[in-house]
Structure 1
Amino acid sequence: MPRTRDKVLMGLGGVAGLSVAAWQTMFPWLKYDLQYLKIAKKAGEKIAHDVANQRYVIDMFEESAAKYPNKPMIIFEDREYTYEFMNEQAKKVANIAYDWKFKTGETVAMFLQNSPAFVWTFLGLQKVGLSIAFINYHNRSKPLLHTIKVSKARAMIIGPEEELYHAIEEIRPELDIPLYLCGSSGTNIPEGYISWEDLMLTSPGAEICKSYRSSYTLITPCIYIFTSGTTGLPKPAIVNQAKSIAFSKFLTFSGISADDTIYTITPLYHSAASIALFSVMDAGATMVLRVKFSASHYFEDCRRHKVSIAQYIGELARYLLHVPESPEDGNHSIKVMIGNGLRMDIWEKFQKRFKIPRIVEFFGATEGTVAFINTWGKVGSCGRLSPFLNRLNPGKSYLVRYDRKTDAPLRNKEGRCIPCNIGEPGLLIGGIANPELYAEGFYLGGKAVNEKKYVRNAFTQGDAFFNYGDLMYMDKDYFLYFKDRVGDTFRWKGENVSTNEVANVLTGLPFIQDANVYGVEIPGTDGRAGMAGILLKENVEFHTDLLPKIYHHCEENLPIYARPLFLRIIKEMPLTTTHKQKKTDYVKEGFNPAIIKDPLFRVSSETKTYIPLTTENVGQFLAKSRL
């Protein structure tokens, strides 16, 4: 990290040697890099300091608890939980865990919903050097059992909610670890469980000596965060202590200080919430926490608690726009919203309606090696990948051409990757500046699962990059834009279709709330044909009069190969818990009217509209499509 800082300073010194007019003429985009470096330098220096001094996340919390004992750390359901109170509860947890005599870095699984108890349980386990698997509390059956087993948890703490108990009870015969149940005492604890409440009531509040966790290192796992499992079962991404330190500095780009109140509505088992939590503890700020997202209460919560920094993710902004307009929309204390997944088609509309002074969009992955962040408010961009910034970064990143059949990078005759040109969509591969920090891999699970994420010998023999599996492109000023996940872009009529771009066009119609676009196979044809799940706005009743409007809108705004061949009118948009669209089940259903219960239509160029597709006429359509 110090080497990176020195390179930045040297680079700035070199630029300073040129006149302003000279470098603006030669490299007009360089001004954006210099603006960014002013902010990045502060974050980089903080990370370097904490890495050098082995100041881990638990140390950040304990320092803030000592400095701001009576200040609210968590606001939850209109109750304030001070740093001192959170520390007292964490100490009780630590004393319980101390008696387990687990080794530093061994894992405990937490199956808890958003609450202050989630936070103090995590902190207590960190006090005694344990790693924590954040289990997705929406998982059930096989995926749930898999996440517990693959985490190698030595024990599990389960929240008090009845649905969580039933989820564990379903798989309990296959679990051979102690199960600690919150919310039940010794008199009513179910068989096979240990009362966490009784242990907390009798646990001493003494502080555990810091020497107990002295064997912590930068590569000791802090938490495991599970991928969504859209391709196979969820995989536990390793967030070691070094990456946790980086997480804690991320909100530096939003100007966080001890005076700020942060609002997060994503589940705490997700990396976006961990970034917010760790940043809050580092700065001594306050977090407003909610069990789950509510569009109708989002800005109401922000007003009531005087939120100054708010998070967003995925399609959250679209659902906020769906709430009926109110004179109170712009009445809040938010100075910046930070997150990822704000689509270009609603960016300005969202910012204008809710009077958001500044939007900071970023791109990254929990298990990734680099991240990008848009500090300039450039609409639609998630950061920059300029030659200058890339040269300063010891872990350089690239957009490279890729094979759409294999989703792997294309190679030239020398076997090397081929960088993309400006405006050309490519696969993002991230450099690995400190390979030793990834000695255990990106995921827990062994060499096989990790090797799939490497791109080796990309430009020189022996080099290695992390494959993000995301397609992106750059404009002439090197601003970076997300295009699609690999696999979301499909090929039809010899052309590549971006699901994201088609969805943006469809949502330009005033009666469409959202669109889920994906490719489906038609027997006897090459590639995949476009299909769109259309969610209408609440006050719109579906009528066939809407279909020619969709047809003509697509005809005017999309090339012929990108226009959806099929439509299904859906009643709700299937989303992940992080507000990203689900496509897997839709893709499996294809355009089969015997399976799909939603109103289903196919394009008709003869009548310039979409017409019903039924079990009676689908055979006729298939016969015609093969001609």
Structure 2
Amino acid sequence: MPLKARLQRDWRFARGLNRTLKRVKSIASDSPNLICDDLQAAVDQWRDRSAITFEGRTLSYGELDAMANRFAHWGKGQNLRRGQTVALFMPNRLEYFAIWYGLSKIGVVTALINNQLSGLALAHCLNISAAACVIVDAETSPVFEAAKTLLEKPLNQWILGPAHGGQRDLVQALKSCSQLPPDKIVREDIRAHDTALLIFTSGTTGLPKAARITHVRAQLYMRGFAGATGAKSTDRIYVTLPLYHATGGLCALGAALLNGGSVFLRRKFSATHFWGEVVDEGCTMFVYIGELCRYLVNQPPGEAETRHKIRMAFGNGLRPDIWPVMKQRFRIPEILEFYGSTEGNVSMFNFDGREGAIGRAPKWLRKRFNVRLVQFDVETEEPIRGTNGLCIECGPGQIGECIGEIGGDARSEYSGYVDRAASEKKVLHDVFEKGDRWFATGDLMKSDGDGYFYFVDRIGDTFRWKGENVSTNEVAERLLGVAGVKEANVYGVAVEGAEGRAGMAGLVVGPEFDIKLFGETVARDLPPYAQPLFVRVLPALETTGTFKTRKMDLIADGYDPGKIKGPLYFNDAKRGYVKVTKGVFEKIAAGLVKL
């Protein structure tokens, strides 16, 4: 890269980092300044400006605060005390943010429950939250009712809407609650290291875990993105992500509301309505996660997709193959990709727009970042240690686990999960010196000589086949380049008598998909050990509410035609991909077929 271009790139990065650090430098764990105080300051500054629009109704900052105050006084009226928890089980709606903002004013924790959960998973989240009561609406109330018998203790159910049976009418209760702020004395002994929210992991590999979001961490999210995005009071952010997740509920709202901007909130994502609403609402930014951008790219072209005022899209999980398409087809001037985990202490930003990179920690700022990559054994699922018992740092291009040093300052603290044992499992000891502690992200990455980090795979998703490590993420990216493949989920399956796990791909395909052409492309573009041994065609990929693909049920199905509906293929060494019949399955299971 020419010197001038390199200097321009480094200047963009330094400017973005400086914006961010300016907003977060005063955050301190022992401070009495809480996330609700940050939000109150924004209300006081921009009281009459529009804050949130949802389904035709707009609240100003002052009206939003008044609503939050009603919820605070309702909580006081229910004798909810500091440290107690209220479960919030609702889809995106106007009151969502106001509920947890208001409850934080009286020191009450809000557990943000994924509104797509039901049955055992829902009951599990409610149980581990230790909630004193649950707030629902007409959409989620029947789901809660169906899971009640699985709860460890009865929960009072408050509904935003007409009450039935044993439900309590929250709308009616709020009418008698004051719109004035509660006295600060009710939270005078609370500090920023105390818990503000519970946010749950996505549950792609098991039941969700409850991550403790302290006031410090909520401030880092909200203030951090207020700085990182460079958002202004004139910006309007399109939020279609669920508010129970940190990216939509904290990062995006913080970018808007701590800068005097506004939010257009949607109940849930719709690829069909996306660009039309962005144009109609005059949005200047939007937030993405996971595969949301691929859904946009898979839509037929429309005139609204280039008639917008979007100046930035920010989020995480943008696939490298989609990145240039997003910029060119939709004419998006800037994409801000970032990396972070709900429960962890590692965060990175790609301020200067290197395509495919999830963040950057340049050499000249290495000491300012707590992030490192260490060599990792995918079979034992443990970091590799040298003869001295310490971990070995990766060099450029080497794949390793991303870890974050746990320190005493706000940015490197690790608050973990409600379950202390689960929290401790994520901590590595004696990493680079005796006595140090590092948070293990569970993500495999690689970095280059310029300090850019690239996501490779989740630990547990990467598998070994024929003596080689196979990244499900990298294979999926290659498969998405094959004609007719719209979506791909790659995973490893056990094969009787074979070492490791064989690659299998679940595909969503279009009418132009041809299995023979697919096989030819795979044989050309992937090494033998990375070529999927099995392929199944699915009507759709099962995803979480944050667009992460689920693998558990697919892995459980394996390659058994008795469990699988729809086309299923085996990559025969001589004939290419052939249909898996009962006879073929039995031969493979008996070890009679060369793999």
TM over 0.5: yes
Deviation per CA, 1:283-303: give whole Å up to 9, x if none: 121111111110011111111
TM-score (norm 2): 0.94
1:47 aligns with 2:24: yes
C-alpha contact 1:108 1:133 (8 A) present in aligned 2: yes
C-alpha contact 2:345 2:414 (8 A) present in aligned 1: no
- Which residue identity does 2:161 align to in structure 1? G
Aligned to 2:147: 170
Aligned to 1:564: 532
Compared CA separation, residues 339 and 606, structure 1 to 2 (3 A):
same
- Which residue identity does 2:229 align to in structure 1? S
1:575 aligns with 2:543: yes
Residues of 2 paired with 1:437 and 1:374: CA distance? 18
Q: How much has 1:30 moved relative to structure 2?
A: 7.9
Aligned to 2:341: 365
1:463 aligns with 2:439: no
Equivalent of 1:603 in 532, 550, 571 = 571
Residues of 1 paired with 2:264 and 2:331: CA distance? 21
Aligned to 2:582: 615
Structure 1 residue runs of 5 or longer lacking an equivalent are 1-20
Residues of 2 paired with 1:611 and 1:246: CA distance? 52
1:209 aligns with 2:183: yes
C-alpha contact 1:111 1:158 (8 A) present in aligned 2: yes
Residues of 1 paired with 2:354 and 2:492: CA distance? 30
The within-5 A match list for 1:188-587 is 189-251=163-225, 252-273=227-248, 274-393=250-369, 396-434=370-408, 441-446=415-420, 448-537=421-510, 540=511, 546-587=514-555
Residues of 1 paired with 2:181 and 2:84: CA distance? 20
Compared CA separation, residues 248 and 588, structure 1 to 2 (3 A):
same
Residues of 1 paired with 2:247 and 2:554: CA distance? 27
Q: CA RMSD in A?
A: 2.2
Structure 2 residue runs of 5 or longer lacking an equivalent are none
Instruction: Please state whether the residue corresponding to 2:503 is helix, strand or coil.
Output: strand
C-alpha contact 2:20 2:224 (8 A) present in aligned 1: yes
Q: How much has 1:98 moved relative to structure 2?
A: 1.3
Equivalent of 2:63 in 85, 91, 104 = 85
Q: How much has 1:54 moved relative to structure 2?
A: 4.5
Q: How much has 1:50 moved relative to structure 2?
A: 4.8
Q: Which moved more, 1:512-521 or 1:426-435?
A: 426-435
- Which residue identity does 2:259 align to in structure 1? A
Q: How much has 1:126 moved relative to structure 2?
A: 1.5
Aligned to 2:82: 104
Give the number of aligned pairs: 589
Q: How much has 1:261 moved relative to structure 2?
A: 0.6
Residues of 2 paired with 1:354 and 1:35: CA distance? 23
Deviation per CA, 1:402-452: give whole Å up to 9, x if none: 121221111111111011121111111111132789988400122x11111
Larger RCO of the pair (alpha carbons < 8 Å, separation 6+) = 2
Residues of 2 paired with 1:399 and 1:433: CA distance? 17
Residues of 1 paired with 2:371 and 2:7: CA distance? 18
Q: What is the percent sequence identity of the aligned residues? A: 32
Instruction: Please state whether the residue corresponding to 2:132 is helix, strand or coil.
Output: strand
Deviation per CA, 1:560-604: give whole Å up to 9, x if none: 111111111111111111111111110111101111112101112
Aligned to 1:120: 98
C-alpha contact 1:111 1:157 (8 A) present in aligned 2: yes
Aligned to 1:4: none
Equivalent of 1:130 in 108, 118, 121 = 108
Instruction: Please state whether the residue corresponding to 2:303 is helix, strand or coil.
Output: coil
Q: How much has 1:266 moved relative to structure 2?
A: 1.1
Aligned to 1:13: none
- Which residue identity does 1:204 align to in structure 2? S
- Which residue identity does 1:170 align to in structure 2? A
Q: Which moved more, 1:325-334 or 1:273-282?
A: 273-282
- Which residue identity does 1:253 align to in structure 2? A
Deviation per CA, 1:500-544: give whole Å up to 9, x if none: 11111111123111111111111001011111111113xx166xx
Residues of 1 paired with 2:384 and 2:402: CA distance? 12
